[in-house]
Amino acid sequence: MTEPLFRADAYRKSATARVTGLTTEGGVVLDRSLFYARAGGQPGDSGRITWKGGRLSVATAVKGEGESIVLLAAEPAELPPVGAEIEQHIDWDRRYGHMRVHTALHLLSVALPWPVTGGAISTDKGRLDFDMDGPPPDKAVVEGQLNMLVERDLAVTEDWISEEDLDANPGLVKTMSVAPPRGQGRIRLVRIGTGDGQVDLQPCGGTHVARTGEIGPLRIGKIENKGRQNRRVTIHLGDEA
């Protein structure tokens, strides 16, 4: 098992760790990882690890066997030996972009309350696919709703519930294409807003900003028809085309 340090503190940029294994594909497994492993439409983190006498550029991180996280090299290179103490550094600008976009997509699911059938995240834009019958709402109205939620500077926090509690509250799951990770006995929830000001609560394992104000201005891009009832909505960070 790899301890997911990014879950305890998404803003942490560096940390030590120990190499616990190497994969046949040239991946490195650590006992604890700052690198988010690709899942739920969010890319894995990139960055670098260093150890005495060596350095490795990390292109991405993926899920391995069990609860392990595997760091994949950007190019063929010498790997650290099992047992080595290493220092890990993530590409912070890229991670922070993912955090801002991922949180913005949660807000998009508030502005457009239809079931989500898919999604993707990059550093400066993201998209959600909705199971939406009929024409989509006015783009300017949705954009206004999003930016209002951003400007409210709502707190983004987490909570945990049991798998049984989630099964008893299926309405918490908005995404039809990605099931919440199970097997640990509990499910992580991401909450936006608190008390009477709560606007969203849903299972999610990704990284997010601490407050919606960090997202900055948002712009709606294309709204595309991807099937009889499937509408793809793209959002961009920043208010300039």
Tell me, yes or no, whether 78 and 123 share the same domain: no
Q: Give the domain CATH number at 41.
A: 2.40.30.130
Asked whether the beta carbons of 229 and 92 are under 8 A apart, the reply is: no
Tell me, yes or no, whether 36 and 129 share the same domain: no
Tell me, yes or no, whether 107 and 77 share the same domain: no
User: Of 72, 90, 108, which residue is a domain's last?
Assistant: 90
Query: What's the whole-number mean pLDDT along residues 159-186?
Result: 68
In tens, the pLDDT along 176-201 reads 555 556 556 678 899 999 999 999 99
User: Of 74, 90, 106, which residue is a domain's last?
Assistant: 90
CA distances for 177 relative to 28, 48, 115, 116, 237, angstroms: 29, 32, 10, 7, 24
Mean pLDDT of the chain: 91
Chain centroid to Cα 114, Å, comes to 20
Tell me, yes or no, whether 28 and 86 share the same domain: yes
| Sequence-distant (≥ 6) Cβ neighbours of residue 89 within 8 angstroms | 13, 14, 34, 47, 48, 49, 50
pLDDT confidence band for 6 (50 / 70 / 90): very high
Task: Give the pLDDT of residue 188.
Answer: 86
In tens, the pLDDT along 45-92 reads 999 999 999 999 999 999 999 889 999 999 989 999 999 999 999 999
Tell me, yes or no, whether 135 and 100 share the same domain: yes
pLDDT confidence band for 218 (50 / 70 / 90): very high
Tell me, yes or no, whether 83 and 102 share the same domain: no
Q: Identify the domain containing residue 105 by its residue range.
A: 95-237
Tell me, yes or no, whether 225 and 116 share the same domain: yes
Tell me, yes or no, whether 223 and 136 share the same domain: yes
Task: Give the pLDDT of residue 228.
Answer: 76
Alpha carbon distance 33, 87 (integer Å): 10
Task: Give the pLDDT of residue 46.
Answer: 98
Tell me, yes or no, whether 113 and 77 share the same domain: no
Query: What's the whole-number mean pLDDT along residues 21-30?
Result: 94
Query: What's the whole-number mean pLDDT along residues 228-233?
Result: 87
User: Of 32, 62, 90, which residue is a domain's last?
Assistant: 90
pLDDT confidence band for 164 (50 / 70 / 90): confident
Tell me, yes or no, whether 119 and 58 share the same domain: no
Q: For the whole prediction, is pTM greater than 0.85?
A: yes
Tell me, yes or no, whether 203 and 109 share the same domain: yes
Tell me, yes or no, whether 105 and 180 share the same domain: yes
Beta bridge partners of 234: 127
State the SS3 of the chain.
CCEEHHHHCCCCCEEEEEEEEECCCCEEEECEECCCCCECCECCCCEEEEECCEEEEEEEEEECCCCCEEEEECCCCCCCCCCCEEEEEECHHHHHHHHHHHHHHHHHHHHCCCCEEEEEECCCEEEEEEECCCCCCCHHHHHHHHHHHHHCCCEEEEEEEEHHHHHHCHHHCCECCCCCCCCCCEEEEEEECCHHHCCEEEECCCCCCCEHHHHCCEEEEEEEECCCCEEEEEEEECCCC
Q: Give the domain CATH number at 105.
A: 3.30.980.10
Q: What is the number of domains present in the chain?
A: 2
In tens, the pLDDT along 27-51 reads 999 999 999 999 989 999 999 999 9
